[in-house]
Amino acid sequence: MNAAKVLDDLKRRFPNEPEYHQAVEEVLSTIEEEYNKHPEFDKVNLIERLCIPDRVYQFRVTWMDDKGNIQTNMGYRVQHNNAIGPYKGGIRFHASVNLSILKFLAFEQTFKNSLTTLPMGGGKGGSDFSPRGKSNMEVMRFVQSFMLELWRHIGPETDVPAGDIGVGGREVGFMFGMYKKLAHEFTGTFTGKGREFGGSLIRPEATGYGNIYFLMEMLKTKGTDLKGKSCLISGSGNVAQYTAEKVLELGGKVLTMSDSDGYIFDPDGIDREKLDYIMELKNLYRGRIREYADKYGCKYVEGARPWGEKADIALPSATQNELNGDDAKKLVANGVIAVSEGANMPSTPEAIKVFQDAKILYAPGKAANAGGVSVSGLEMTQNSIKLSWSAEEVDEKLKSIMKNIHEACVQYGTEADGYVNYVKGANVAGFMKVAKAMMAQGIV
């Protein structure tokens, strides 16, 4: 395989999709050496088949707002690869959603799901609809219209969506209800469901908790842990909230959180009481993070992200490409020892190079934030066997999965000088499982 040629061909065939090209380039650059040890892969053009989605559904969504006006949005579902199991990946509702972003997410999801060792392929979906500022009824009408098209393409053994940015328990509930009505069946077609109708304990917490469990495994390689460590967290949604919760539980100190308007810096630390306020502010009132600064009298920086602040650990947990090369240089200069990604591809290629050149611990999202989809997989299992596990059982399984992912990264990513390149480790480990499954199944 010539990685540059493969990427050039993809750019020619799929122009104007920068996030997708970025995700593919990051993977190809790290697996090229391992791939070329297997000439049988090239004979069947495996790499191109793995980069291009199996299929993409794209459709218009028409819905009525509370004023009686008809609105239109775009809906998508990218079914990327199902070599090791049914397509699995979240649905994102955000104004920024486009095909490039969803193709990048579905591509990443394929390798992330492979790393979990659970039988799940990769997919992703969503819409440029934003729930922000919408009433419950507007969200429900949009979701029901969205599902009128999507329902025919998903199912418990075909494609199992979940939540993502802009899609929480409310939206998943509306989607599941409409799917149930249209399909005339009650099956585990969605994950992230409410506990009352098939959801799993620990699912809301899973991405944040899993990120910290992975971080702890990295810190162990340096003979340390989270006690007394200060942390910068971006975002204030589900992932950021439960990342902060686990940091506090394990003795760390949370200094920052953010939203799309800016970030707060609390030198005294965001303790349990303050985190409860943020959870109420964001989950119940859907307020802005600046209200925290007003209440607790701390610094708020509008239109910025927290990477210029001094801390021991950075935990980007908001969105893609939120941490660039200059941000990375500030973090390294300020003494950060570890960066573990709660979001999908939050660090740009330039930032990743800075971290790796500085030889600090750096965990890419496909490894570090795989806890969310791992517990989604455990939710699928519980739905299949018609049983519910306790929170302790699910949490133990999550810890075990994150430990196994870390071990796979170390196995494939340890370099000659002993430094663990977690990007390479995660990509090669995830790729090899999918590649071997595709080879076994023939040219399909």
Residue 29 neighbours by CB distance under 10 Å = 16
| Apex 193 CA angle, 289 and 273, nearest 5 | 35
In degrees and rounded to multiples of 5, residue 161 shows phi and psi of -75, 170
Give every CB contact of residue 410 below 8 A, 6+ residues apart in sequence.
221, 420, 425
Question: How are strands ordered across the β-sheet holding 299-302?
Answer: 299-302, 262-265, 253-259, 230-233, 313-315, 338-340, 361-363
Rounded Cα–Cα distance for residues 223 and 42 (Å): 42
| Apex 59 CA angle, 443 and 25, nearest 5 | 50
Set 124, 274, 282, 366: catalytic member: 124
5 is catalytic: no
Residue 385 neighbours by CB distance under 10 Å = 9
Is the separation of the CB atoms in 211 and 234 below 8 Å?
no
Is the separation of the CB atoms in 313 and 287 below 8 Å?
no
Rounded Cα–Cα distance for residues 139 and 145 (Å): 10
Is the separation of the CB atoms in 273 and 266 below 8 Å?
no
Is the separation of the CB atoms in 356 and 329 below 8 Å?
no
Rounded Cα–Cα distance for residues 211 and 303 (Å): 26
Q: Which residues are catalytic?
A: 124
